[in-house]
Structure 1
Amino acid sequence: MGTEKPLKILMLAKRFAEAMPKHQHKFDMLEAIGRVADVRYWTKDGDIFDIMARLDFRPDMIFHYDFEWRNAFAPNIRNLDRADILKGCYVLDVHFDPAARREYFDRSGKPDIIFSASKYPFLEAFPDCASRFEWLPFGINESLIKDYGLPKDIRYSLMGLMDPKYPFRHAVASRMKGAEGFVHFKHPGHRTPDRPGLFVKEEYARAINRSMISFTCGSVLRIPVAKFLEIPGCRALMLAEPNRDIEELGFEDGVHYVACNRTNVGTQALYYAEAAEEREQLTDAGYELVHRAHTNEARARQFVDAVKARLTGGGRAGERAT
């Protein structure tokens, strides 16, 4: 029997991590797809028929990455609605310009598959797109998100944006202010160019690995942000505001992390800082879960399976991402 040929994918995506190193993890997931499929990138605005004429293959599927932030991640592509090839797109922030999303889903893009980084927030926002929906959460790059074996010289860490969409993070900052060993790492900026010492990539991962405990949440939208994987993936205990998406990804309170709310997060943090045996058990279990089930390689296989299911007329590839 011959070896099955890899899928041919036309990837309509900019090499955005070069200009926005904060978003390297997103591009790492695209590159993982390129290791299991035959991928051609197209990075410039254009007409899909002109683009297709320049290719050296006919793709099985056209994958248009997210057009949000004025096409910061993907080019503007015309006439996608007329292309007679299976089409997919990706949705990062489900709250971004719902009217523009709707116009793209129903008219200018007409994707056959709508991949989204979130599940329940997406389906709540676009319930009529359920038949086209495939959940593709973030994954981790295991060469970066790992145990560096560093001393745990940070007792508690908080990272990420501190705008009004993140009331849990504000509660953490308020309750932990003045606590011994608490460090708040400021967001480096979405579009800040790379430079030595910028708090991204290995600088960021090593800070988590130095942390005994680290906090996160999915904002008021309750989305499964990458930190839900990165914190346990760098072997720190995660104290987090839970949501349905991370529960469906296999995270169990008291097994892989500690679920908190704005009222009890300070008490929980102080308790687990002292409960060394419990803390280490939870940290180890969270680390194992992420590196077993939530790598970029796992996401790439999930992506390919979803595309193959649609190509063969099998409908959705499945509900779960674990």
Structure 2
Amino acid sequence: MRKINLLVTTGDFSKYISPEFHYLLMEVAKLTNLTVWHESGDIKDILKKVEVQPDFIFINEFGESNSPKITGLSTLEIPFAVNLYDIHYHIKDRKEALHADNVKHIFVYYRDKFLEWYPEFAHMMKWLPKHINPAIFKDYKLEKEIDYLLMGAVHHRVYPIRHKVVQAMKDKPGFVYHEHPGYRNIDDDEENVFAGEKYAKEINRSKMFFTCNSRYEYVLTKYLEVPASRTLLLAPSSNELEDMGFVPGVHFVEINEDNFQEKAQYYLENESERYKISKQGYLMVHEHHTTKKRAKQFVELIQEIITNEQK
């Protein structure tokens, strides 16, 4: 089967604090004839400028501020799909835009909330969860010098469990918290920012890592990054997470607002159990949730759409 000609419109996330889409495109480029477009404009004008006419067009972060605004989609004869990222933002406006642009295929990271908030678009959904770059998130075999680690945003309205953890454990010996550096591009010479390899190594230095799935119950990237770094993940569970292969007590430790301190103390004292679960989580994520694996799934979904639209 020949490689498909794929056009992706997207922001440039190569220096972004969370560059997983950039890593995805690097893998997709090995599987397709990929053209990446970073500028806003009418899709018909863009098609006149690209060297290779696409078999398929993918609009990343549809309606988001970090990616270009692409107009004229409703006039397209080439099959296309959009990706929705923060699906809780401006739901009414998003729905109107999806209808106006005659969107037929929607890629999402967060399955269950999309089905809850966008039920009329359920038949268009393509679920492609988050993923990790194993060249960055791996076992660096660093000494586990940190007992308990929490990194990232902790606003109480968005991340209630993270907020409670910080408030309850900020004075506890062995607990370390690093603030979120902001959703922005990170310069290579920024020394005091945990991003990329430095972020992954900090996770790898910890015995266990607290996070949560936010008030929206999203399976956020930290659910993958932590076990991929061979560190014990303490976080709430969900049906969506378990459908991704995460089994509580096998690949991570399930916590809630009431038991996180008790669970953390138990696994601090029981090193063999902590080691066993963190190893099982590490192996599972590296087998099923790498960027390479997700890129293959991404291209297969696109090929399926193209085949079905040709019938």
TM-score, normalised via structure 1 length: 0.92
1:1-322 superposed matches below 5 A: 4-18=1-15, 21-70=16-65, 72=66, 74-108=67-101, 110-163=102-155, 164-191=157-184, 193-194=186-187, 195-197=189-191, 198-313=193-308
* Larger CA deviation: 60-69 vs 302-311: 60-69
Q: Distance in 2 between the 1:206 and 1:193 partners?
A: 17
Q: How far is the alpha carbon of 1:179 from its aligned partner? A: 2.0
% identical aligned pairs: 35
Q: Distance in 2 between the 1:57 and 1:69 partners?
A: 26
* SS of residue paired to 1:151: coil
Q: How far is the alpha carbon of 1:281 from its aligned partner? A: 0.5
* Larger CA deviation: 259-268 vs 53-62: 53-62
* SS of residue paired to 1:224: coil
Q: Distance in 2 between the 1:47 and 1:55 partners?
A: 13
* Larger CA deviation: 238-247 vs 264-273: 238-247
Q: How far is the alpha carbon of 1:16 from its aligned partner? A: 2.9
Task: Give the letter for the 2:85 counterpart.
Answer: L
Q: Distance in 1 between the 2:175 and 2:294 partners?
A: 33
Task: Give the letter for the 1:168 counterpart.
Answer: I
After superposition, give the CA deviation of every residue in 1:241-287 in whole Å (9 maximum; x if it has no partner): 11222111000001000000000000000000111111100000000
Aligned-residue Cα RMSD (Å) equals 1.5
Closer, same or farther: CA 43–111 of 1 in aligned 2, 3 Å: same
* SS of residue paired to 1:62: strand
* Larger CA deviation: 162-171 vs 50-59: 50-59
Partners of 1:26 and 1:138 within 8 A in 2: no
* Larger CA deviation: 76-85 vs 260-269: 76-85
Q: Distance in 1 between the 2:124 and 2:29 partners?
A: 23
Q: Distance in 1 between the 2:20 and 2:30 partners?
A: 16
Q: How far is the alpha carbon of 1:69 from its aligned partner? A: 4.4
Partners of 2:109 and 2:130 within 8 A in 1: yes
TM-score, normalised via structure 2 length: 0.95
Q: Distance in 2 between the 1:291 and 1:193 partners?
A: 26
> Any gaps of 5 or more consecutive residues in structure 2?
none
Q: Distance in 1 between the 2:58 and 2:253 partners?
A: 36
Task: Give the letter for the 2:78 counterpart.
Answer: I
* SS of residue paired to 1:302: helix
Q: How far is the alpha carbon of 1:193 from its aligned partner? A: 3.7
Q: How far is the alpha carbon of 1:192 from its aligned partner? A: 5.3
Q: Distance in 2 between the 1:51 and 1:130 partners?
A: 29
Q: Distance in 2 between the 1:44 and 1:103 partners?
A: 23
Closer, same or farther: CA 183–169 of 1 in aligned 2, 3 Å: same
> Any gaps of 5 or more consecutive residues in structure 1?
316-322
Q: How many residues align?
A: 307
